[in-house]
Structure formats: C-alpha cells, structure tokens
Amino acid sequence: MEQQFARQLKKGALEMLVLALLDRRASHGYELLLRLKESSGGQLVLKEGTLYPILYRLEDDGCIVSAWQSPTGEPQTPKTARKVYQITGQGRAVLAEQVEVWRQFSGSVEQVLEGNA
Amino acid sequence: MKQYTVKQYMNAIESALRVDWKTRVRIMNDLASDFQSRRDAGQTDAQIMAELGTPKAVAAEFNAAFAEEHGPYQSPLRWVWLALAVLLPLVANWTGLQPAEASSIGIIGGADGPTAIFVTGRFGWSGVLPWAVGFLALFLLAGWCRKARGRLWLPLLLCAAVSIGSAVSQLNAAHAMAMTGALPVWMYFIANVLSNGTVFCLGVLFYTVFCLRRP
C-alpha cells in the first residue's frame, strides 16, 4: 500500500523533474540518472528501465528531442555516440504548466495536513 | 551474477524484452548509449553490468513500465499461430483423402475396415485437430491470456481434452493397425501421435502449465 502510493506519486512527478533538468541543460540518459540522484540528495535513485520509458513518452509528446552526439560534439553513429536529450519549446511550456499545478497542489496538500479543520 | 560479455548481456536483455519492435530498437540504442556514458565515467564493463542488474531484471523494469502504459504485450507472432490453427484443418480437408481413395489404399496395403477408417480420419480436418488446437492455444497464450491470469485455464483445458482424447483414439487405431500390419502396436501409436499433433498439443499443454505456475 505504502509502496504503491509512493510509486504513483513518483510517476507523476518524475516526468516534470526530467523536464526541469533538461530545461537547465541537455543530457544523455546516464547523466540524467546522476543529476536526479545528486539534485535530490540521493533520494531519487532511478534505474534505466524507469527513466527511458519516461523519456520516450516525453519525446513522443514533442516535449523533448534526441540526437546522437559524440563526446566532442559532432553527430555520429550509434556505435560510439551518446544519445542526448534536449527540451523543446513545447516542453518548456508543458514544464511551466506542470510546475504551476504542482506548486498549487503541494501547497494545498500541506495546508490540509497542517490544518485542523 | 553469471559472467556475460557485453554482447551476450545486451542480447539477453533484448530477448527478454516484451515490447513492440520499434520500442525494442529504441531501448537497445539507449542502453548502448548508456554503456558508453558509463565507460566515459570510468566504470569497467563488469561494474556497469553489475550496477544495471541482471538482463532479466533490466528487461523486467522496461516490460513493467510499458505494460502499465499500453496494457500487456501481445506478441505479433500470435497471428501466425492463429493462421496455422485455421489453415491446417482447411488444407487437410481440401487435400485429404476421400473415403474411396482411402479404401483403395487400404486394399493395396492389405488392410480391412478399421485401417481404411483410420486413414480417412487421419487426413480429414479431424486428423489434424490436435495440431490446430495446439496452435490455437499458442495464439491465446501470446496475447489474450496475458490480460488476465484466469484466462490461462482455457488453453489448458482445450489442450488437455484434445491431447487425452486423441491419445486414446490413436491407441485404438494403433491396435487396429497392428492386427493387420507388420509392426508392433507401440510403433503405430508413436507414428500416429507424432503425425496428428497429439505430442505437439501435449507440449503446448505443458507450456501452459508452466505459464500458470510462473509468478
């Protein structure tokens, strides 16, 4: 029960967090995993199997785009290159919306939990 | 964890993925990219594989994520099974020996009534029934059954009924053949259950039981 609740919560928020990280700078998958872990103080430790489906959903919705790049920057073949994900204009708009909803929602959740109605 | 080369490791993940072909390519590309990034970060291949987890575990995470979003994975191969289940009896019926031909073969072979009946039965649609039911069960197992666990009982019962029924009737036929033929009963029996698909149907039955016992 507890686990399910945590999973459901995470699922909705992760999409927004991935967008937020990509908004700061483009990253490849592994880098995103590291950045998520780092910026959450070690709380959000994801596996590839969780992250990539999120990235695919965002890419299919047009919020991010991916491109193959070698470590030096020029486009290359999948053999030696990394797939770098980048946020789009649409992604930024979606992110702004989600952050807005999140702030409102978490604010009211806090209010209910703290209140004595 | 079992020792893999990187290639074996990737292949093992790929074969355990239960997603459509396009997503499969996408995942494998991303995992290859992931591998490169981790190498850049100074990890050895063995460390990378240990950190990612067993191929089954890696694939299971992806499978769970996609099943949650798109429903259970239904193998496109299931249409091949369905086509075989429908076409086999039809083809057997079209090309099957007619009773007249059957009895003439029976005469040539020096066989009397029971063999003639057996030969007819073997080449008509009912003669390939265990093949057809086996393929039908595979079709159900590859898609429909994955939507709810209880659905596994349908192919299970189908295969059980047909393979037991067919085995019994083929045993009778084998006895009849052995009376007039030169070979012992068990040889006729084995030839019969192999050719009419009883053994195949039994195999599918065992596979269904395996699916049912799998967590």
Q: Which positions in chain B have a beta carbon within 8 angstroms of at least one beta carbon in chain A?
A: 23, 26-27, 29-34, 36-38, 40-41, 52-53, 58-62, 64-66, 69
Closest residue to B65, CB basis, from A30, A49, A78: A49
Mean pLDDT of chain B: 82
Going by C-alpha positions, the residue among A55, A88, A71, A62 that lies closest to residue B30 is: A55
Average pLDDT over residues B98-116: 43
- Window from B34-38, B83-87, B174-178 with minimum mean pLDDT: B174-178
The ipTM assigned to this model is: 0.80
- Whether B56 contacts B2, CB under 8 Å: no
Alpha-carbon distance B16 to B41, whole Å? 27
B171-to-B116, B123, B132, B175 alpha-carbon distances in Å: 16, 17, 20, 6
The pLDDT of A30-34, averaged and rounded, is 92
Higher pLDDT, residue A78 or B90: B90
Q: Which chain B residues contact residue A50 at CB under 8 A?
A: 61, 65
| Burial of A5 (C-beta count, 10 Å sphere; 0-12/13-18/19+) | exposed
Rounded to whole angstroms, the Cα distance separating B35 from B142 reads 32
In chain A, what residues touch B39 (CB-CB under 8 Å)?
A: none
Three-class secondary structure of residue B62 per DSSP: helix
In chain B, what residues touch A69 (CB-CB under 8 Å)?
Answer: none
Give the per-residue pLDDT at B128. 82
User: pLDDT by residue (tens digit) across A63-107?
Assistant: 999 988 776 655 555 556 788 999 999 999 999 999 999 999 999
The answer to whether A14 contacts chain B (CB < 8 Å) is no
Beta strands in chain A (DSSP E): 27-28, 64-69, 82-87
Q: Which domains does chain A have, with CATH numbers?
A: 2-114 (1.10.10.10)
Instruction: Measure in Å the smallest separation between the Cα of A113 and chain B Cα atoms.
Output: 30
- The residue behind tokens 């997503």 is B23
